[in-house]
A = this chain, B = another copy of it.
Amino acid sequence: MHGEIIAIGDEIISGKVLNTNSNFSARSLFHAGYEIKRITSIGDDLEDIKEVLTASIKRSKFVIVTGGLGPTPDDITNEAVARAFGLKLIENKLIRDMLESSCTSTYPLTEYQKRKLTHLPEGAEILNPNSRASGYMLRFNDTLLFFLPGMPNELEEHLRDQVLPRLRALIPSSFVFLQKTFKVFGLKEPEVNARLDRLKLDKKRVLVGYYPNFPEVFVTITLKGSHDQEAKECFENVIFTVREILKDYVIAEDEETLEQRIGTLLLKRGKVLALAESCTGGLIASRITTVPGSSNWFDRGVVTYSNQAKMELLGVKNETLSRFGAVSPETCREMVEGLKQKTNAHYFISVTGIAGPSGGSPQKPVGTVYIGLGSRKNVNIRRFQFKGTRTVIQELTAETALDLLRRELEKSVEF
């Protein structure tokens, strides 16, 4: 009773575009209890599309196909479907009417573009007659095929509002499961594995998965099968033990992110954060402000990239900069002290480092980073030596800084 996903487009197999559509589809279907066994990407090639479509209906109960439905000449999904299943392409009235009525407002389509959009394989059931880029469903033998637009926002809307309701009505979900994700930072995959191995879990029943998701490692505990009381209790016990073992390396659970966790902890204390970033260049502030409502616990950030900015916005002393350099514990400390003095926030993070690729020296090689963490009472400065490209160093710095704050906030005492 499993399904599969097919993504069509030269842009995917040439690596020009990251295939986020298949990822979104797989995740949504998995969480709705449907098993996906395979994801295939192929180019805008009639023969390849035909071959993959024909093979898919032999092994899968449902198939999600994305891309190649647009009005441009490289969009050939409809033609490939018609040929693979021996169907005619016929004009769809619903789409034609919708196009005629909406075309005045935006830009005009040529006759060729209209023809491409309106001619669908016979038997196609339009998923959303109000959408200008509607996908369609096709039943062939015992398989349901969903053909969906390749634009990510349209794909997501279609999958959530059109595909999942129809799947639920037509195919019962193939498994029930209990699942918990632990997001771990500071332990590598084999280290997590070694810790959990000591648990001696029932491996037939409890599945443990390890998914590096830089800079975090996701650990999932899955219990497949029935949802009875006994299963729930067994699951809860395992979760409890795993949580005990991984302890403060767990930065968040399930859908929560590290920055959301920090927001929750700050809100609970009624405290507010301020940031001073140099080598991360706003990455920490940017992560924080992806969280809705972060204005309740985030006051401000300064991206003090130049020495001038460090002096003017944070009161870092010229002498400190010239004597110890911008990347030094002394500067890092004065950055925190500056935030303390110039804001009404309660907690403070400052970072200064060398993200590279140039700017390193034998004493301070690329990847040298100082992170300052402060409250109204205390200030701590730590030195780190990260490895990797500029982006990797920036991401490790941001994650480490946020994690240092989280660890303090998880404690019951004020720091």
Q: Which B residues are in CB contact (< 8 Å) with A305? A: 289, 294-295, 298-301
Bound-state Cα–Cα, A355 to B291, Å: 10
Within 8 A of B (CB), among A145-203: 150-153, 181, 188-191, 193-194, 197, 203
Distance from A100 Cβ to chain B, minimum over Cβ atoms (Å) = 16
Distance from A11 Cβ to chain B, minimum over Cβ atoms (Å) = 4
Check A143 for interface membership: any CB of B closer than 8 A.
no
Check A325 for interface membership: any CB of B closer than 8 A.
no
Distance from A353 Cβ to chain B, minimum over Cβ atoms (Å) = 12
Check A342 for interface membership: any CB of B closer than 8 A.
yes
Of A69-77, A87-95, A232-240, which binds chain B?
A: A69-77
Minimum CB distance partner of A194 in chain B: B110
Q: Which B residues are in CB contact (< 8 Å) with A23? A: 12, 15, 17-19
What 1/0 mask marks residues of chain A from 7 to 35 whose CB sits below 8 Å from any chain B CB? 00111111111111011111111100000
Check A290 for interface membership: any CB of B closer than 8 A.
yes
B302 and A306 contact, CB distance less than 8 A: no
Q: Which B residues are in CB contact (< 8 Å) with A213? A: 16-17
Contact partner, A303, options B152, B207, B214, B303, Cβ 8 Å: B303
Of A40-48, A315-323, A375-383, which binds chain B?
A: A40-48
Bound-state Cα–Cα, A108 to B308, Å: 47
Contact partner, A214, options B10, B107, B152, B191, Cβ 8 Å: B152
Check A286 for interface membership: any CB of B closer than 8 A.
yes
Check A129 for interface membership: any CB of B closer than 8 A.
no
A289 and B299 contact, CB distance less than 8 A: no
Contact partner, A209, options B10, B207, B295, B358, Cβ 8 Å: B10
Bound-state Cα–Cα, A20 to B214, Å: 11
Minimum CB distance partner of A18 in chain B: B23
B292 and A357 contact, CB distance less than 8 A: yes
Most buried by B among A15, A298, A302, A308: A15
A150-B212 contact given A40-B39, A203-B73, CB 8 Å threshold? yes
Contact partner, A302, options B15, B110, B303, Cβ 8 Å: B303
Of A118-126, A263-271, A277-285, A328-336, which binds chain B?
A: A277-285
Check A37 for interface membership: any CB of B closer than 8 A.
yes
Check A356 for interface membership: any CB of B closer than 8 A.
yes
Check A312 for interface membership: any CB of B closer than 8 A.
yes
Bound-state Cα–Cα, A342 to B308, Å: 11
A197 and B18 contact, CB distance less than 8 A: no
Minimum CB distance partner of A212 in chain B: B151
A289 and B282 contact, CB distance less than 8 A: yes
Bound-state Cα–Cα, A283 to B218, Å: 25
A27 and B40 contact, CB distance less than 8 A: no
B37 and A40 contact, CB distance less than 8 A: no
Bound-state Cα–Cα, A25 to B11, Å: 13
Most buried by B among A24, A41, A42, A302: A41
Known interface pairs A13-B37, A15-B27, A15-B28; 19 further A-B residue pairs with C-beta atoms within 8 A, sorted by A's residue number? A15-B23, A15-B25, A15-B36, A17-B211, A19-B22, A38-B52, A39-B42, A71-B193, A151-B212, A153-B388, A281-B290, A290-B390, A290-B391, A292-B356, A292-B358, A294-B305, A300-B303, A300-B313, A312-B342
Show 20 A/B contacts (Cβ-Cβ < 8 Å), sorted by A.
A10-B209, A17-B23, A38-B48, A70-B189, A150-B212, A151-B212, A152-B212, A279-B289, A280-B286, A281-B294, A282-B282, A282-B284, A282-B288, A282-B301, A283-B286, A289-B394, A295-B306, A298-B306, A300-B305, A313-B313
